[in-house]
Amino acid sequence: MDFSILTDNFGLYLEGFKNTIIASVIALVSSFFLGVIVAVMRISPVKVLNWLGTGYVEFFRNIPVLIITFFFYFGLASIGIELDGLKAGTTALSIYTSAFIAEAIRAGIMSVPKGQMEAARSSGLSYNQSMRLIILPQAIKIVIPSLGNQFINLVKNSSILGVVAGLDLMYQADLISARAFVTFDVYLFVAMFYLVLTIPLSLGVHYLEKRLARSH
Amino acid sequence: MGVIFLSVMYRAWSRFFKCYYLKILNTLNSRRKMGEGKFMIVFDNVNKYFGHFHVLKDINLTINQGEVVVIIGPSGSGKSTLLRCINRLEAISSGSLTVNGVPIHDKTTDINKLRRGIGMVFQHFYLYPHKTVLENITLAPIKVLGKSENEAIKTAEFYLEKVGIQDKANAYPAQLSGGQQQRVAIARGLAMEPEIMLFDEPTSALDPEMIGEVLDVMKKLANEGMTMAVVTHEMGFAKEVADRIVFMDEGRILEEAIPAEFYVNPREERARIFLSRILNH
Ligand SMILES: Nc1ncnc2c1ncn2[C@@H]1O[C@H](COP(=O)(O)OP(=O)(O)OP(=O)(O)O)[C@@H](O)[C@H]1O
Ligand SMILES: [Mg+2]
């Protein structure tokens, strides 16, 4: 392994690392909230919301994230809305991941006993209040392990930004390898940067899972 | 002499009788008396279907303020459904159902507002597992009634003491026994200061040694004049505090009677068979 590749291009690696983190964090937060909203739509007693939610999930989780990214990068540009690679990629990533998160959270909501909603409603809370205060907190706790998996996938999928000049790790790696005429080592270091992100994430999820299991 | 003495005695007694005895009697009965004539829950020809399945058939039932009505009947006879119609956890299919003067099936009725006045206690408690006992009880008063946190905590502590578990305020539901959980559930209902309490088999999920503590709380409530509709097969409870027993079978109310009559000599053959079954097991 040639460490000079890492040291010589450390600035580029760091720049890519920073952008990967930015894209991941933004996509993580927005895909989570989008996912919650879509999950709630999916189980909503209002038929229209129900259909919209189902359509959203089925559409976005069944096409490659690359195509969604192209849509936000090239597609929108063709109608005059110019997004840079970072923005287009992050948006695509958020939407793609939110479809999976919505499914996970929906499964979580379904596994909360029906009586919880009934108890909340019979005390006079509205449907929305019951959902927000009683059902969702329990549902999210149940699905933390699978949310963790989705978030790890999200960090890895952020490499899609490289394709649309998103300035992330993958993009910088392409740049470095084109300059240095080396491929294997360049991407090996990239893998290590990804691990620096995903392993703590994975450990964090494990920790949370254990702590929540213990508290009740 | 004797005659005069007697007549004085009589006058004194009758005055005492009029002034005090009646007064005492009145205070004792005042809660019931006040409620007399005030219909809290009125089922008028109510029918309910689940798809094609006819669950409630021509239900006519009136529950007065301060009355304790116990509903019994075989499994699947529609007892829970009847109860759940009262706070519209289930919608009725036809007929009319009025709770505290409000037609609950009416489209314009604000159901969340109506539900404030109706507490419900479930067989499996359904405490919120992610919230402490205190949070379970204060949630609705804060979010629905708009009470301040301090006010809500004070109310919660009052009712926790009433159900005898003030020392568990900061525990999570999973740390409590079944009997304790059910008493918290009752306190949670009472904290909304409802006019009606509904109980759906509140003791059937409990170990036998915990049934008494829950029934005691319910008896206390009944004696304080709460309007109660209770689905339970606990005969001791029914005999002690119920004003009426309602016997259901296959979606119909087959018999309504005072407990002394119903348990000793039910009119309906099916009630007789049902009673002998629950007595002999
Ligand atoms: N949501 C529902 N959808 C379809 N059928 C239902 C539904 N809820 C209850 N039923 C049916 O309606 C009938 C009456 O149910 P209900 O729960 O009111 O009976 P119950 O008298 O409370 O019985 P148990 O003593 O077992 O609690 C049963 O046959 C039940 O299977
Ligand atoms: Mg039932």
Q: Which residue has the tokens 């927000």?
A: A132
Q: Atom 29 in ligand 1: which residue has the minimum CA distance?
A: B76
Interstrand relation of B39-50 and B94-99 (parallel, antiparallel or unpaired)? antiparallel
What distance in Å separates residue B34's CA from the closest CA in chain A? Answer: 26
**Dihedral angle at the C-alpha atoms of B237, B266, B77, B69, nearest 10 degrees?**
-40
**Average pLDDT of the segment spanning A21-31:** 95
Q: Ligand 2 center to residue B78 CA distance, Å? A: 7
Q: What is the DSSP letter of A159?
A: G
Average pLDDT, chain A: 92
Q: What is the pLDDT of residues A65-74, one digit of tens each?
A: 999 999 999 9
Using a CB-CB cut-off of 8 Å, the residues of chain A touching B145 are 124
Residue B5 has pLDDT above 90, yes or no: no
Instruction: Note whether A111 contacts B: Cβ–Cβ < 8 A.
Output: no
What distance in Å separates residue A121's CA from the closest CA in chain B? Answer: 8
> How far is the C-alpha of B255 from the C-alpha of A103, rounded, in Å?
49
Q: What is the pLDDT of residues A118-137, one digit of tens each?
A: 999 999 999 999 999 999 99
For chains A and B, CB pairs below 8 A equal 64
Buried-state track B46-77, b at ≥16 Cβ within 10 A, e below 16: bebeeeeebbbbebebebbbbbbbbbbbbeeb
Interstrand relation of B227-231 and B196-200 (parallel, antiparallel or unpaired)? parallel
Residue B27 has pLDDT above 50, yes or no: no
What distance in Å separates residue B212's CA from the closest CA in chain A? Answer: 23
Q: What is the DSSP letter of B129?
A: T
Residue B25 has pLDDT above 70, yes or no: no
Which run of H or E residues covers position A70? helix A65-70
**Average pLDDT of the segment spanning A75-91:** 91
Q: How confident is the model at residue B233 (pLDDT cuts 50, 70, 90)?
A: very high
The answer, yes or no, to whether any atom of ligand 1 lies below 6 A from the CB of B76, is yes
Q: What domains are defined for chain A?
A: 4-215 (1.10.3720.10)
Q: Atom 7 in ligand 1: which residue has the minimum CA distance?
A: B50
Burial class (CB in 10 A: 0-12, 13-18, 19+), A172: buried
- Flag if B144 and A137 touch (Cβ within 8 Å): no
Sign, Cα dihedral of B112, B118, B119, B122: negative
Q: Ligand 1 center to residue B110 CA distance, Å? A: 26
- Chain centroid to CA A104: 12
8 Å CB contact between B90 and B81: yes
Q: Which ligand is nearest to the CA of B72?
A: 1
Q: How confident is the model at residue B34 (pLDDT cuts 50, 70, 90)?
A: very low
Question: Which residues, other chains included, contact B9 with Cβ-Cβ below 8 Å and sequence gap of 6+?
Answer: none
Q: Please tell me the predicted confidence (pLDDT) of residue B6.
A: 61
8 Å CB contact between B252 and B224: no
Provide ipTM, 2 decimals.
Answer: 0.84
Q: Please tell me the predicted confidence (pLDDT) of residue A25.
A: 95
Q: Please tell me which residue of chain A has the smallest CA distance to B123.
A: A115
> How far is the C-alpha of B255 from the C-alpha of B275, rounded, in Å?
13
Q: Please tell me the predicted confidence (pLDDT) of residue B2.
A: 59
Question: Which residue from A116, A134, A216 is facing B174, i.e. has the nearest CB?
Answer: A216
> How far is the C-alpha of A161 from the C-alpha of A68, rounded, in Å?
11
Task: Name the residue with higher pLDDT: B23 or A17.
Answer: A17
For testing contact with chain B, the best of A123, A125, A129, A144 (most B CBs within 10 A): A123
Best of B54, B55, B198 for a ligand 1 pocket test (most atoms within 8 Å of beta carbon): B55
Is 0.90 topped by the overall pTM? no
Q: Please tell me the predicted confidence (pLDDT) of residue B242.
A: 97
Q: Please tell me the predicted confidence (pLDDT) of residue B107.
A: 86
> How far is the C-alpha of A53 from the C-alpha of A40, rounded, in Å?
8
Q: Which ligand is nearest to the CA of B82?
A: 1
Percent of chain B with pLDDT over 90: 81
Q: Ligand 1 center to residue B75 CA distance, Å? A: 8
For testing contact with chain A, the best of B85, B120, B142, B143 (most A CBs within 10 A): B143
SS3 content of chain A, % helix, strand, coil (to 5): 85, 0, 15
Q: What is the pLDDT of residues B138-180, one digit of tens each?
A: 999 999 999 999 999 999 999 999 999 999 999 999 999 999 9
Q: Ligand 2 center to residue B193 CA distance, Å? A: 25
- Flag if B126 and A118 touch (Cβ within 8 Å): yes
Question: Which residues, other chains included, contact A7 with Cβ-Cβ below 8 Å and sequence gap of 6+?
Answer: none
List phi, psi (to 5°) of A188: -65, -45
Q: Which atom of ligand 1 is found nearest the CA of B84? A: 18
Q: How confident is the model at residue A93 (pLDDT cuts 50, 70, 90)?
A: very high
The answer, yes or no, to whether any atom of ligand 1 lies below 6 A from the CB of B232, is no
Q: Which residue has the tokens 């009944």?
A: B222
Q: What is the DSSP letter of A80?
A: T
Q: How confident is the model at residue A2 (pLDDT cuts 50, 70, 90)?
A: confident
Question: Which residues, other chains included, contact B62 with Cβ-Cβ below 8 Å and sequence gap of 6+?
Answer: B39, B41, B42, B43
Which run of H or E residues covers position B48? strand B39-50
Residue B18 has pLDDT above 60, yes or no: no
> How far is the C-alpha of A138 from the C-alpha of B145, rounded, in Å?
24
Residue A216 has pLDDT above 60, yes or no: no
By C-alpha distance, which of B169, B172, B181, B180 is closest to B134?
A: B169
**Average pLDDT of the segment spanning A74-78:** 91
The answer, yes or no, to whether any atom of ligand 1 lies below 6 A from the CB of B77, is yes
Q: Please tell me the predicted confidence (pLDDT) of residue B212.
A: 96
- Flag if A123 and B124 touch (Cβ within 8 Å): no
Q: What is the pLDDT of residues B62-114, one digit of tens each?
A: 999 999 999 999 999 999 999 999 999 999 999 999 999 999 988 889 999 99
Let me know how long chain A is. 216
Q: Please tell me the predicted confidence (pLDDT) of residue A6.
A: 84
Q: Please tell me the predicted confidence (pLDDT) of residue A7.
A: 85
Q: Atom 25 in ligand 1: which residue has the minimum CA distance?
A: B75
- Flag if B139 and A133 touch (Cβ within 8 Å): yes
Using alpha carbons, list the distances in angstroms from residue B202 to A158, B87, B162, B220.
53, 17, 17, 15
Q: Atom 28 in ligand 1: which residue has the minimum CA distance?
A: B76
By C-alpha distance, which of B34, B115, B46 is closest to B78?
A: B46
- Flag if A122 and B128 touch (Cβ within 8 Å): no
> How far is the C-alpha of B110 from the C-alpha of B106, rounded, in Å?
9
